[in-house]
Amino acid sequence: MADGDTYHLLFYTYPADILERRGPYRGAHLQRIQAEQRAGRVTHAGALGMPPTGGAMVWLNTPVEEIEAFAQTDPYNAAGLITSWRIEPWALV
C-alpha cells in the first residue's frame, strides 16, 4: 500500500441457485477478473459464504466509472446471476 492509493470494494449478491447456474459463465467471469488482476487494478477477488451468497473484489486506483462498467458487463450479470451490486470506498488504516 502506497500513500495516495485509493481502494474500492465491489460487492455482488448472487441468487440462491448460483452453484447450479454459473457453470456456462464461470470461465468468462474468471477470465475478466484475472485480466484486471494482471493489469494491477484488482488485488483480491472471491466468493462470499459457503455456499456463495455473493462475491467481492478489491480495486486499486481505479475510477468508480470503470468499476461500474466492469460490473455491468460481467458475464454473470448478463446471465442474471448478479441480483445486485454496489461499490464502496475502502479507507485502509
Span 35-82, pLDDT tens digits: 999 999 999 999 999 999 999 999 999 999 999 999 999 999 999 999
Show me where the domains of the chain are located: 7-90
pLDDT of residue 93: 84
Check: CATH 3.50.30.30 for 7-90? no
Contacts for 43 with CB less than 8 Å, ≥ 6 apart: 37, 58, 59, 60
pLDDT of residue 41: 98
Cis peptide preceding 51, ω within 30 of 0 = yes
pLDDT band at 1 (very low <50, low <70, confident <90, very high): low
